[in-house]
Chains A and B, each alone.
Chain A
Amino acid sequence: MGTGYCWRCGGSDPESLFCKYCNSLQAPITDYYNFFGLPKKLTIDLDDLQRRFYNLSRSLHPDHYTRATPQERQYSLEATSILNDGYRILRDPVQRAEYILKEAGFDIGEQRSKDVPPELLEEVFELNMQLDELRSGDEDARRPLEESRERFTGLQQDVDRQLVGLFLAYDSARSPEAAHKALADIRAVLNRRRYIRNLLREVDKELTARPV
């Protein structure tokens, strides 16, 4: 409720989906965490999130507003689309992190993941060589490439484990500086993760393009 007042009865009830006086649906809150009634933490209980999603769907979905006023039908449509968008983003750890990063002012463009993370420079170089060899028809490069692929898949799993730890660091940060530092670390790790994922996609494309 942007204005803090109910559009229908005029009652003052800031920050709620339904007016506590006349129970009519209000203009939806657009912040996903507020919408779900969750604290702004990176660690989320997925079962709890799903339960909230189902309950909110039941009370907001346009199917239940067919006979309501046009204003409520409009709010229902908007609220449900926020609900669905929010659920999609909050239930995926990476999108969840990107959401918080964006809110905190971090830039998370795709462009950043085009740069090779420095600690991976050597492995990436080797992998690219193997890719080129396979592309030019050298089947001997296949085994080494598959092994590199295994290594990178392992790295990807390491990254995901790292994220869990960093999420906890953010959630338990005692000061804005600590929180900001945690977010900066998370952004670096996300870049690495995206880079590795793109690389693996390239490799898989090559490996399946020429089935043995």
Chain B
Amino acid sequence: MEDTALVTASQAGDLEAFKTLFEQHRRTVLGIAYNYVKNLEDAEDILQETFIKAHHSLHQFKIHDQARFSSWLYRIGVNCSIDHVRKQKRKKEKISAMKDLHQGIAQRNPSDPEHRRHMKEIRQKVDQAMTKLSPRQRMIFQLKHDQQFSIKEIAAVMECSEGSIKKQLFRAVGVIKAGLKNFLGEGRYEM
């Protein structure tokens, strides 16, 4: 069943139709949230919040518009993720937000302590570089790099032009590359 029919049924109060929408888009929304907050528990909270907000605002979504339901839904997910991290920052729990991911990486290379140490340093540099990006730039980078959204899809989700998305993506990649220049390729690259 297509999104359009499911959305129409959901708008009419059919909760089963909304459940089907949830099942179809759950993984993408969870992916957006997880790649942004790096913590499954928080990502699940964002996933739930996204769908609750979407259901609450469903009457505002105009099915005849050119906008796709998925872009509208992912936009809610993006905003929930950015808001969540802002709240986390206020609570000074930023460090623990990276814990799950770091543990996952450590478990993937248990037999090579040297490699693990090197990767740990790189992760720290990437994390440092990420803090230099605005929440919007960081989200654009992660939608592209982790979620593998197209530039066009990101533009629809973030509600701006493709040119603007490219510009912010170049800026994000540039900052990360600059942060890693002394750690990769034994310093053979001149920037």
Partners in one complex: no
